[in-house]
Structure formats: C-alpha cells, structure tokens
Amino acid sequence: MTRHHFNIIGFIINCTWIALFIKNPAMMWILLGLAGLLFLTFLTIGVVTPSNNYFLKQTTKLTTDKVLLTFDDGPDETLTPEILSILKKYDIGALFFVIGKKAEKNPQIIQQLIEEKHKIGNHTYNHPNLFALYRQDKVEKEIGLCDNVLIEQTIHPGNYFRPPIGYTNPRIARALKKFNKKSIGWSLRSYDTLLKEEDKLLYRLTSRIKPGDIVLLHDNLSLTATVLESFITISQKNGINFVTTKELNTILP
C-alpha cells in the first residue's frame, strides 16, 4: 500500500475516534457513517482496480509501447479457435488465462495455443466467484489443480496468474509466492462481459487504447470474437502496435 492509502486509512480512523467522543449523537452518527462510507469506497476501488496494487503487486502496464491482449475464461470449444485464427492473421501473440476445468475438456485447444506461440496463464480450476473469500488451503488448491491439468497435458503451467473477477487479498498473495507466480492485471478493461452491443464494445476499446496497455478480454464470449478483428485493424490504423508472437517471449519470459 502506498502513503496515499495510509493517509486515507488514517483519516477514516480519526473520523471514527472523533465520532466516539462527540457528545452530539446526530453528529456522531454522521461521522461514523462518513468513516464507514469512505472505508467501503476505498476498499471497493482498491480491490477492483488492479493498478492500485492494493493487496499484491500486479503487472498492469507494459514497459514497452506495444499493447498486450489477454483473454480470460477459456478455452472455449468454438470461440477460442475463431479468436486464434484472427490473431494468426495479424501475427499477434496473446496471453490466455485458462480455467482448469475447461482446459481439461479442451486439450486440443491448449495444444493449439502452445503451437501458435501464445502464452498460458492460470485462472484457477473452477473460477469460483467467491475466490476472494476462500481459505488459504482452498486458494492453493484452486491454483494447484489448474496447474496440474496443464502438467498432465505436458505443458509447463507458466508463471502467470489472474484471480477470478480480479479480486486480490493477502491469502492470494501468499499462494502466488508459494507457486512462484506473478499476478497480471490490466490497464484497459473491455467490459465485454457487460456490454451487449458490438458498436459499444468496439468504441470503448478503440477510443481508449494506449501504447503499453494490457487489455482484458474474454475468449468465451461471441461478442468479443465478433469485434476482435475490427478492434485490431482500427487500432493499428491509429498507430497501435500489438505484441507479436515473437515478442511475447521477451515481454512474458
């Protein structure tokens, strides 16, 4: 946490202390309410914005001016191959955060990812939505099981991890240390899980993309697969360079 984080926490604690010693009950509740609201806002922003590095240090930007595409929640039997053919056409190398149980069902796509020189990251075995509330042993089990699926397919599970929903906590930080993995966040969230229209998704991506971005997309969504090629070509016309399969090894060793 930065000094900025400690200042906010200090302010919240002070508000709470003043509130407890104040004689006017209405004022006391206002101050306590304010402290509570600030705490919740701070926690929510900290947790959902990976660049805040709230609980653990995550990579959220590249040190080059290239753009890295990341795809979560696959592999999907039909959509991942569609996405792969578009990436191949433009020689773009991407990082795929796979869900262990889907990787187990689609070993041929995992092989294709490797053959086509993309990188694979661990996105847990079950993708539990309440992962951030899991005990230490369950956190480690989720990460270990996903690694094991890849190892059984004779694939090195790699050093990269992305927590489901992007939430982090000290237990996840400890588990990553144990597995020697690095957490990769993002600087551009596509919101492809929420947006329903192609135009809106394409506009969001092409209007916000900047050199050095790590883009969060999902390879299990047909909207993403539909928009991907236009996103790539428009961005390239606007001077954006995506990481190539060759550059992927230097960027993600």
Catalytic residues: 72, 218
Q: x/- string (CB under 5 A) for Zn ion, residues 24-63?
A: ----------------------------------------
CA nearest to 153, candidates 81, 88, 116, 105 = 105
Q: How many residues bind Zn ion (CB under 5 A)?
A: 3
Our finding on whether 142 is near Zn ion (CB under 5 A) is no
Which residue is closest to Zn ion by CB? Answer: 72
Our finding on whether 147 is near Zn ion (CB under 5 A) is no
| Sequence-separated (6 or more) residues with CB below 8 Å from residue 105 | 77
Q: How far is the CB of 31 from Zn ion (least distance, A)?
A: 39
Q: How far is the CB of 4 from Zn ion (least distance, A)?
A: 28
Q: How far is the CB of 6 from Zn ion (least distance, A)?
A: 31
Tell me how far apart the alpha carbons of residues 163 and 172 are, in angstroms, rounded to a whole number. 8
Tell me how far apart the alpha carbons of residues 178 and 2 are, in angstroms, rounded to a whole number. 24
* Helix (H/G/I), strand (E/B), else coil: 63: coil
Our finding on whether 72 is near Zn ion (CB under 5 A) is yes
Residue 160 forms beta bridges with which residues?
Answer: 182
H helix or E strand, kind and range, residue 111: helix 107-115
Q: How far is the CB of 182 from Zn ion (least distance, A)?
A: 17
Looking at beta carbons only, is 164 or 185 nearer to Zn ion?
164
- Contact criterion met (CB below 8 Å) for 172 and 55: yes
- What one-letter code names the amino acid at 221? L
Site for Zn ion in 160-179 (CB under 5 A): 164
Our finding on whether 213 is near Zn ion (CB under 5 A) is no
Positions touching Zn ion (CB under 5 A) are 72-73, 164
